Amino acid sequence: MDELKKVLLAGIGLTAMTYDKAEKFVKELMDKGRLTLDEGKELQSELKRRSQEEAKDLLGQIKEKSQSLQYATKEDLQRLEGKLDALLEELKQSKSDE
């Protein structure tokens, strides 16, 4: 699960970094007069909307893929430990009987 979280955070970080760079580029275009203030605001809002959509899509894909995974619960581990303890005890008894 930790690996999945790392991939998710990396994807979100990349999306945020890309949005920040795009926003900076739009501001540069506005400063140089290649975009009007209204065009710049419109472009920034479109970039923000798209980056949010991409982040949601990424989260959806990860959620979809992770639903098919089954993780061991504490109860599963306790049950397995109990079985191992019982097997070790049987092994110990077998060796002492010899």
Q: What is the pLDDT of residue 14?
A: 66
- Token pair, residue 27, equals 């501001």
For tokens 């306790």, the residue is: 78
Q: How far apart are CA 95 and CA 11, in angstroms?
A: 55
**DSSP classification of residue 34:** S
Contacts 24+ apart (CB under 8 A), 50-53: 51/15, 51/16, 51/18, 51/19
Residue type, 12: I
pLDDT band for position 17 (50/70/90)?
Answer: low
Domain boundaries, the chain: 2-67, 72-98
Q: Where are the alpha helices (DSSP H) in the chain?
A: 2-31, 37-67, 74-97
**Residue that wins the pLDDT comparison between 15 and 31:** 31
pTM: 0.48
- The pLDDT tens digits for 54-78 are 878 878 887 787 777 777 889 999 9
